[in-house]
Chain A
Amino acid sequence: GAVVSQHPSRVICKSGTSVKIECRSLDFQATTMFWYRQFPKQSLMLMATSNEGSKATYEQGVEKDKFLINHASLTLSTLTVTSAHPEDSSFYICSASGVDTQYFGPGTRLTVL
């Protein structure tokens, strides 16, 4: 299957700082990428749909000014968590849209102290 990478895999930061997470599709071009968040023992929740060359589409309840998404090329989307707080600590996973399904990155575990 297709390969999607995420960087960093783990980040610990202080409250109030911003954290950028990169998602790359390594062997195909992805016009659409998705960003999910997963809290412990809960399902993946879609945060936003990232479209190359245009603004992201955010799900209801997700603050677009807090979770900045940039999809500048067909192989890279970035999620920036601005002014992170402890309640933002979670597992953030990106995926790239294929023909019939999505290919997931390995995830980024964010811990905000």
Chain B
Amino acid sequence: RKEVEQDPGPFNVPEGATVAFNCTYSNSASQSFFWYRQDCRKEPKLLMSVYSSGNEDGRFTAQLNRASQYISLLIRDSKLSDSATYLCVVMPLSGGYNKLIFGAGTRLAVHP
């Protein structure tokens, strides 16, 4: 079983749609969680951290359910520029090196 699992998609949605991505992780001792965005042939860029209480950043809302080991990302009012691959990322307890474990990513394509 992969440490971080995501639905690969692609999700094809029209502009203005609301789309949700899910992610599960296997290591219950994981301590930090993130969503990264990766554009084609580029490096990943941090989109947002995910907190237990849930957090929002503009059109983006992230949720964490530690009991179910489940993370979600909700994008409202999708823009064409949101088209990218969204990576669910987990930082396990690892003795101080901030090691990150990446999911394979979920592709989003927003069309006019």
User: What are 24 A-to-B residue pairs whose CB atoms are below 8 Å?
Assistant: A1-B46, A42-B104, A43-B87, A43-B104, A44-B87, A46-B99, A46-B101, A49-B97, A93-B43, A95-B100, A100-B32, A101-B32, A101-B34, A101-B98, A101-B100, A102-B98, A104-B43, A104-B44, A105-B43, A106-B43, A107-B41, A107-B42, A107-B43, A109-B41
Q: Which residues of B contact A45 (CB under 8 A)?
A: 102
A-B contact count (CB 8 A): 51
Interface size class of B (residues with CB under 8 A): 20 to 34
Which residues of the other chain, B, contact A97 by a CB distance below 8 angstroms?
A: 97-98
Chain A: CB-nearest residue to B46: A101
Which residues does B use to contact A, with CB under 8 Å? 4, 32, 34, 41-46, 49, 87, 91, 97-105
Closest to A42 in B: B104
Q: What number of A residues sit within 8 Å (CB to CB) of B?
A: 23
Q: How far is the CA of A34 from the CA of B87 in the complex (A)?
A: 17
Q: Which residue of B lies closest to A44 (CB)?
A: B102
A91 adjacent to chain B (CB < 8 Å): yes
**Residues of chain A at the chain B interface (Cβ within 8 Å):** 1, 32, 34, 41-46, 49, 91, 93, 95, 97-98, 100-102, 104-107, 109
4 more A-B residue pairs beyond the given contacts A93-B44, A105-B43, A107-B43, with a C-beta to C-beta distance below 8 A:
A44-B44, A44-B87, A100-B32, A101-B100
A107 to B43, CA, bound (A): 6
Given A1-B46, A97-B98, CB of A43 within 8 Å of CB of B34: no
List A contacts of B41 (CB < 8 A). Answer: 91, 107, 109
